[in-house]
Amino acid sequence: MRMIGISRRFTSLSYSRPSPSLTSFSRRSWKLAAATSSSKFTRPSSLLAKMAIQKPAEPEDQLDDNSRYKPFLLPERTRNSDWISELELDTVTEMARQDLHTTGQPLRVLVLYGSLRKRSYSRLMAFEASRILHCLGCNVRVFDPTDLPIKNDADDVHHKVQELRELSRWSDGHIWCTPEQHGNLTGVFKNQIDWIPLSSGSVRPTQGRTLSIIQVNGGSQSFNAVNSLRILGRWMRMFCIPNQSSLPKAYTQFTDEGDETSRLLPSSNRDRLVDCMEEFVKYTIIMRPQFKLFGDRFSERKERRTKLDSQAEAEEVDSAVTNNLDHRIQSAGVAVDNVNGVNVAGI
């Protein structure tokens, strides 16, 4: 019996999962573990280094002002030592590497947030989500809703409206982050979605795109806003990932370094945000090659056939009228050329 017990213990040790990465520790825990153990710890390399493929520069990236669309970027000197670069995301990193190798195109992600406050927690949360996606090789652009007019019928040509719509057409997926206000999403956020049309000519700016949803709360945790975002995403014909993030008491969840540089503190809520971004990238990699397929619908094919049939009928009518007119003109010409049976055309 003793030998069986030893055998069982040996078997369980042999097939146990590898110990979690040091990235699950905070920096303080990492230093403490290194100081109190005789084992040598190796700090994990950054996710971009693991990908081993340099992200190709897109033509539009050459004109892209990082201060405009990428205000979340960290200084180069601190990027590789940041907590995000230490995350264990090997599976999704390998998926992103293979997808980039196959398509030559990084995932394009549009991030929207729903507050204009100087210290906006939805903006800070959106920035953290953007940093995680950036480390996974995504081309991330954050839209600033400042100066976007209230939805109306007169401002379609407004430069902020055109910018938002162009970003939506450009994207493969969206990240939506809104505060909860009076039990629902804010007007600042909803106004942005109202400016994105379901269709623009033959183009549907959001159909088939993936979506991840986040809300921040001033009080205890709630899910009213993310539930509304999920409904809104479905209305925009987007695929919303199953996971979602709701940050309670947001004013306690960030460092006090500044309005733009505050960072999300370690917690299960931060882990949930990482989960959501990881899941979002996986879904987008799988679904992006099928965007055209998702846009191919019976009702729209039927509508196109009806229009083509109507156009063909109209062309047939025009052709018949033209032929009839030509025949009448020709007949009139013959009648003039023949008077009482005598050809007078040469007289």
Cβ atoms of 72 and 113 closer than 8 Å: no
Rounded to an integer, what distance in angstroms lies between the CA atom of residue 37 and that of residue 48? 29
Q: Which residue has the higher pLDDT, 197 or 62?
A: 197
Tens of pLDDT, residues 254-269 = 998 777 789 999 999 9
Tens of pLDDT, residues 111-147 = 999 999 999 999 999 999 999 999 999 999 999 999 9
User: Which stretch, 53-67, 263-277, 322-336, has highest mean pLDDT?
Assistant: 263-277
Q: What is the CATH number of domain 47-294?
A: 3.40.50.360
Residue type, 140: V
Q: Return the SS3 of 178.
A: strand
Structure-token match 């406050």, residue found: 117
Tokens (6 digits) for 72: 């979340």
Rounded to an integer, what distance in angstroms lies between the CA atom of residue 30 and that of residue 15? 26
Q: Which residue has the higher pLDDT, 206 or 41?
A: 206
Q: Average pLDDT in the 199-218 region?
A: 86
Rounded to an integer, what distance in angstroms lies between the CA atom of residue 258 and that of residue 255? 8
Cβ atoms of 205 and 162 closer than 8 Å: no
**Residue 62: left if φ>0, alpha if ψ -120 to 50, beta else—which one?**
alpha
Q: Average pLDDT in the 302-325 region?
A: 84
Cβ atoms of 287 and 239 closer than 8 Å: yes
φ/ψ (deg, to 5) at 179:
-70, 160
Cβ count near 235 (within 10 Å): 11
Mean pLDDT, the chain, as a whole number?
81
pTM of the predicted model as reported, rounded to 2 decimal places: 0.74
Q: Average pLDDT in the 63-81 region?
A: 83
Kindly list the domain boundaries of the chain, sorted by start residue. 47-294
Q: Which residue has the higher pLDDT, 48 or 104?
A: 104
